Amino acid sequence: MPSYETLLSHMKTESVTRTPAVTPDPRRWIVLAILAGSLLLIAMDTTILNVAFPSLVADLQPGSVQQLWIIDAYALALSGLLVTAGALGDRWGRKRLLLIGFAVFAAASLAAAFATAAWQVVAARALLGVGGAAIMPSTLSLLRAVFTDARERALAYAIWAAVFGGGMALGPVVGGLLVERNGWQSAFLLNIPVALAVIGFGWWLLPESRGPARGRWDWLGVGQSVVGMLALAGGIKQLGKSGVGDPLPWLLLTLAAITLTVFVRRQLRIAHPLLQVRLFASRPFSIAASTLFLSMIAMGAVLFLTTQWFQYAQGYTPLEAGIRLLPAPLALVAASMVAPTLMHRFAIRHILGLALLLMAGALALPWIVDHTGTLGYPGVALSLAMLGTGAGVATTVASVTLMAATPTRDVGGAAAIEETCYELGAAMGVAILGSLAAALYRTNLPADVTAAARDSVGEAAHAATALTGPAGTALLDTAAKAFTAGMTPTFLIAATLPAAAAALAWTQIPKNLRPTENTH
């Protein structure tokens, strides 16, 4: 296995030999606009269903198991295929895979919009995940190919991070506006014209890009990675739904651990691996990936729990809740745009460390406010703005560092690793920290509260609507206070994750690392 010093030397020499010799692609900013627009669609689609789901359930009346599959099918298919899609784009052509992914995405959206049964929506959502898996690694890989100047590439990655983070938060707002006027089908129909536009402009303007020719396609590795990632994503999600007492998530996580261990060991042995796992031998690469993963655990938990707090503890509609979440994405977009300038002027480890500490402070703030007064929207809005600022800088710096530490031939695999950190990190935040908040919620409820209300704050809100007069109001107020009392210490515990990532950044990232500079 190559040493860290060898890989760091490669990062420097690659910049020396590659960047000055390559003429910048004159279409690179148009390419960025096309890829940013495509990514915005994918990012919004991860959260837009949250708003459309109630009316979809009322119309198609799926059973409880079908409801879970409608929610989870997209993320499971996406997570399971990211590694394979990244390797396939390197081998087959990243532009080709991106356009095929959007064709699949458009077809799946059309099928979902005209579905008349729940199983059809489940199948369409799974197909959307297949399309998303083809699209997401291709966007980062194409950006790496067309932006040959390191400083310009940092700005392109910053825009990529801003679009992805902003799109996830804008999904409920845009979805709420569409669904209230045109029904749940509009949440899927929105995808079709955007996908067709990307296919048309992409076919015309995007350059083709692929890695060097390699040996035979690793079908066994594909099977191992798909099974392992599906089991991992499924286990995390099931753990969040059923809790630690259910054996199923632990069986899935055990299967994932065994399968992925076998996959990694095999990839280290074979001559032409599906995924270049030796990338993790580079400290900048592994610290950047860890930063993204830990940050998304915290972000996923915050967005999930804060949305519930707005709707159930504060009584807002999904659209109103989405609007009140806007301080986070707006700050994230602004901070992402500033990050490349900061990276060019200051040491990477300082920028990354301070951004992660800002995230930790943002997560601790609701607990501090709740224990010194009454937690209201001003305190939550400030926390969201701080969190978005820290996350915008941290994810941009981590993304630029991760891709700069990757040899050109392996950018598809690196992009897949980055996307996996985003997807699994957010899912783990909802599963683990969401379960912790639910347990603390039940602990803070009085003993005489009904069993239905003890199940979740959502069930308590439904039970309160069935009661008339002061009884319903009292139950809702009790549940709201208990949920707040469980949410704020969960955020405080989540603050340890970016704090730990900050410590790693300061101690492990080299002082002289400058991924935004070209060395001539």
Instruction: Summarize pLDDT for 345-376 with one digit per residue, the tens.
Output: 888 889 999 999 999 999 999 999 988 877 88
1 located within any domain: no
- What's the pLDDT at 64? 67
Q: Is the pLDDT of residue 12 over 60?
A: no
- What's the pLDDT at 187? 83
pLDDT average, residue stretch 61-88: 82
- What's the pLDDT at 520? 40
pLDDT average, residue stretch 463-486: 80
Q: Is the pLDDT of residue 34 over 80?
A: yes
- What's the pLDDT at 517? 62
423 located within any domain: yes
7 located within any domain: no
From 180, 196, 213, the end of a domain falls on 213
Same domain, 306 and 245: no
111 located within any domain: yes
- What's the pLDDT at 109? 93
Same domain, 195 and 238: no
Domain of residue 236 covers 215-271
Higher-scoring residue by pLDDT: 54, 133: 133
Ranking 81-85, 329-333, 380-384, 431-435 by mean pLDDT, the lowest is 431-435
List strand residue ranges (DSSP E) for 271-356, in order.
none
Same domain, 87 and 196: yes
Q: Which of 497, 50, 467, 21 lies closest to 290 in space, CA to CA?
A: 497
pLDDT average, residue stretch 110-116: 92
pLDDT average, residue stretch 194-214: 83
- What's the pLDDT at 380? 92
Same domain, 177 and 243: no
DSSP code at position 190: T
- What's the pLDDT at 251? 93
CATH of the domain at 53: 1.20.1250.20
From 213, 228, 254, the end of a domain falls on 213
Give one word for 252, left, alpha or beta, with left for phi > 0 and alpha for psi -120 to 50: alpha
Contact between residue 515 and residue 343 where contact means Cβ atoms under 8 Å apart: yes
User: 444 pLDDT band (50/70/90 cuts)?
Assistant: confident
Percent of the chain scored above 90 by pLDDT? 20
What is the Cα–Cα distance from 479 to 240, expressed in whole angstroms? 20
- What's the pLDDT at 100? 94
Ranking 150-154, 174-178, 327-331 by mean pLDDT, the lowest is 174-178
Q: Is the pLDDT of residue 54 over 80?
A: no
- What's the pLDDT at 15? 41
Same domain, 61 and 171: yes
**What 3 state SS string does 369-420 have?**
HHHHCCCCHHHHHHHHHHHHHHHHHHHHHHHHHHHHCCCHHHHHHHHHHHHH
163 located within any domain: yes
249 located within any domain: yes
Strand, helix or coil at 117?
A: coil
Same domain, 464 and 397: yes
How many domains does the chain divide into? 3
- What is the model's pTM? 0.81
Same domain, 433 and 310: yes
Same domain, 186 and 151: yes
Q: What is the pLDDT of residues 222-263, one digit of tens each?
A: 898 889 888 888 888 777 667 667 888 899 999 999 999 999
- What's the pLDDT at 368? 92
Same domain, 378 and 331: yes
445 located within any domain: yes
Same domain, 479 and 509: yes
Percent of the chain scored above 70 by pLDDT? 92
- What's the pLDDT at 432? 83
Contact between residue 298 and residue 494 where contact means Cβ atoms under 8 Å apart: yes
- What's the pLDDT at 480? 84
User: 324 pLDDT band (50/70/90 cuts)?
Assistant: confident
pLDDT average, residue stretch 277-292: 88
- What's the pLDDT at 163? 84
Higher-scoring residue by pLDDT: 170, 253: 253
Same domain, 261 and 192: no
What is the Cα–Cα distance from 369 to 489, expressed in whole angstroms? 11
Q: Which of 349, 395, 479 lies closest to 157 in space, CA to CA?
A: 395
What is the Cα–Cα distance from 43 to 467, expressed in whole angstroms? 39
Only one residue has tokens 């969401």, namely 434
Same domain, 161 and 261: no
Higher-scoring residue by pLDDT: 178, 201: 201
Q: Which two tokens stand for residue 268?
A: 């280290």
| Average model confidence (pLDDT) across the chain | 83
251 located within any domain: yes
- What's the pLDDT at 13? 40
Please enumerate in sequence order all residues whose Cβ is within 8 A of that of 38, keeping only pairs 6 or more positions apart, or say none.
98, 102, 135, 139, 194, 198, 202
